[in-house]
Structure 1
């Protein structure tokens, strides 16, 4: 890990932290950079995309409310960030995030290295989660008690992903929880905040991106397979077996397009064909996942010990952006025609 210097602080590092997990000494960077990195906000973009999808679906039914969408998106981003921090805390307390763990090796950890303060961690985490909770309370007051079901279910799944007496990740339920959260709960919940109802077609529209986020988690857990097995953690890839889990990830990636095609046919949302622009990355996913992870990184490879998760993340990011673009284009066409 390289040591950060003053030139890396400020907006330049903030933007880098939004794109990736910078390999820096977080004790030597400015506070905002430190917690953007430790909160792993580079993956929080997935929550923002879910919110935007839900908002665009609401716009299609003429119930769009920009201030509510902004509040929902900020609340989801804060909840996701807080969940990342809480999960790091529990994995550290459970002895999972040890110095030799993939999590500590692929990016800075709140409890690894020097200069990390438990008090600061608790204050920042409490602030982030309190802000998310405050937004949730406002949304319940603004849109009705039905929002509470989405908020509480999502909060419980996020908080008990790595925590509590039976952490979902440890018993093979983490992948299912992630699909439910980033699909029906986030996308459907965003729509519900504006429409105060949840039609079946919106649930269908939440499936493609929910599957995409799930493939990212499959990739992450495949990368950590041997380490997790040694710690007694039974993630879905461990339950299924390495080979089966790789092909399940390929199947889920293909289902992203099949479920989108179903939405195109059912709702006549032809602009969603834009997602075919992500097919070259789907081909890359298939190429990576057809073979086991190599014993050592190829020459010049960056990101080791991660192998599977990177290509899944990039594929899902492009798919999500094109899905959003397709929804926006469909709205524009419908407004003109």
Structure 2
């Protein structure tokens, strides 16, 4: 069956849940193809950050549903555009070669001829345009501070693999992800509703942002030899595999410590739901002590991704439960 011969909603759901096999790209309808090429499965992490911003706003009494939806849509479009742009820049710079892990183990829009460079840039621009419209609306209703969050996010988006000195190539990619998925996304979503953002919200964004950062560290650990050979100086390249595994373990511990700290500081018991995942955290910490098997190219990223997904679900679920309890009690 040729791509576009019929809509395949089942494939859309598959693309949202996991990274499909390379051959699936050829069988996909246009919507599924762009979801796959835009790595829709990892957009869930952006959705969680946006939802956290909405839940923090609800718990503070400043929740605005229309503004929340605008912020969430804007962030998802920006992340989608970032994924496409990163593939474009890495492919153009000769980093995403046929022997690269990115090309060998997942659908790549250019390397696997899912789209032409012109089409890729066009869709990237359209997604960025949609994100910009959401940002302009929020600037109009919430204030010019939205431009600060959006501007910093755009700089990091374009600078991650683009520009004269890409952040990913100089050991700053992991820090960039921590900032974006924490203070910028969570804090920006809150600001878009309230017109201000308290310090505790920025600190409250860190538990999940640390989790997203561990996923990136796991990804870079899996391809440390490949990156080192091409002078892509990610943190695992700079620290070495052993040092990077220790850093990832430290970040996992901090996920729970910061969650408990904010829960106690702000009286948010819902955040303590993440403690139900302590057993999974311990398994992930021990898992990071093991060397990657030669026949498992996506080893560390798989473990950190699953751990972060459980952590995020518990964090959101706990806060949703707290919101419902407060509403039931009339608080």
TM-score range, shorter chain: over 0.9
The residue number in structure 2 matching 1:16 is 14
The residue number in structure 2 matching 1:110 is 109
Q: Write the deviation string for residues 259-298 of structure 1: whole angstroms up to 9, x where unpaired.
A: 011012111112222112222321221122112212223x
Q: Whole-Å Cα distance in 2 between the matches of residues 135 and 27 of structure 1? A: 32
Q: After TM superposition, give the deviation of residue 120 of structure 1 in Å.
A: 2.0
Q: Map residues 204-283 of structure 1 onto 2, 5 A cutoff.
A: 204-283=203-282
Q: After TM superposition, give the deviation of residue 127 of structure 1 in Å.
A: 1.2
Secondary structure at 2:12 match in 1: helix
Residue from 286, 308, 311 that aligns with 2:300: 308
Residue from 298, 310, 333 that aligns with 2:325: 333
Are positions 1:318 and 2:310 aligned together? yes
Q: Whole-Å Cα distance in 1 between the matches of residues 180 and 162 of structure 2? A: 16
Between stretches 167-176 and 268-277, larger displacement belongs to: 268-277
Aligned residues: 328
Q: Whole-Å Cα distance in 2 between the matches of residues 105 and 4 of structure 1? A: 23
Q: After TM superposition, give the deviation of residue 4 of structure 1 in Å.
A: 8.1
Q: After TM superposition, give the deviation of residue 177 of structure 1 in Å.
A: 0.4
Equivalent residues of 1:169, 1:235 under 8 A apart? yes
Q: Whole-Å Cα distance in 2 between the matches of residues 26 and 331 of structure 1? A: 41
TM-score by length of 2: 0.95
Give the gaps of 5 or more residues in structure 2.
Answer: none
Q: After TM superposition, give the deviation of residue 258 of structure 1 in Å.
A: 0.3
Equivalent residues of 1:21, 1:107 under 8 A apart? yes
Q: Whole-Å Cα distance in 2 between the matches of residues 309 and 115 of structure 1? A: 24
CA RMSD of aligned residues (A): 1.7
Q: After TM superposition, give the deviation of residue 122 of structure 1 in Å.
A: 2.1
User: Runs of at least 4 residues of structure 1 off by over 3 A?
Assistant: 3-9
Give the gaps of 5 or more residues in structure 1.
Answer: 298-304
Q: Whole-Å Cα distance in 1 between the matches of residues 269 and 26 of structure 2? A: 50
Equivalent residues of 2:3, 2:29 under 8 A apart? no
Are positions 1:93 and 2:85 aligned together? no
Q: After TM superposition, give the deviation of residue 123 of structure 1 in Å.
A: 2.0
The residue number in structure 2 matching 1:62 is 61
Q: Whole-Å Cα distance in 2 between the matches of residues 291 and 332 of structure 1? A: 41
Q: Write the deviation string for residues 100-147 of structure 1: whole angstroms up to 9, x where unpaired.
A: 100011211011134632232222112111111111111111111011
Q: Map residues 281-296 of structure 1 onto 2, 5 A cutoff.
A: 281-296=280-295
Q: Map residues 78-227 of structure 1 onto 2, 5 A cutoff.
A: 78-114=77-113, 116-227=115-226
Between stretches 91-100 and 191-200, larger displacement belongs to: 191-200
The residue number in structure 2 matching 1:301 is none
TM-score by length of 1: 0.93
Q: Map residues 39-58 of structure 1 onto 2, 5 A cutoff.
A: 39-58=38-57
Q: Whole-Å Cα distance in 1 between the matches of residues 6 and 264 of structure 2? A: 49
The residue number in structure 2 matching 1:300 is none
Q: Write the deviation string for residues 48-71 of structure 1: whole angstroms up to 9, x where unpaired.
A: 100000011011111101111111
Secondary structure at 1:190 match in 2: helix
Equivalent residues of 1:53, 1:187 under 8 A apart? yes
Q: Whole-Å Cα distance in 2 between the matches of residues 29 and 328 of structure 1? A: 35
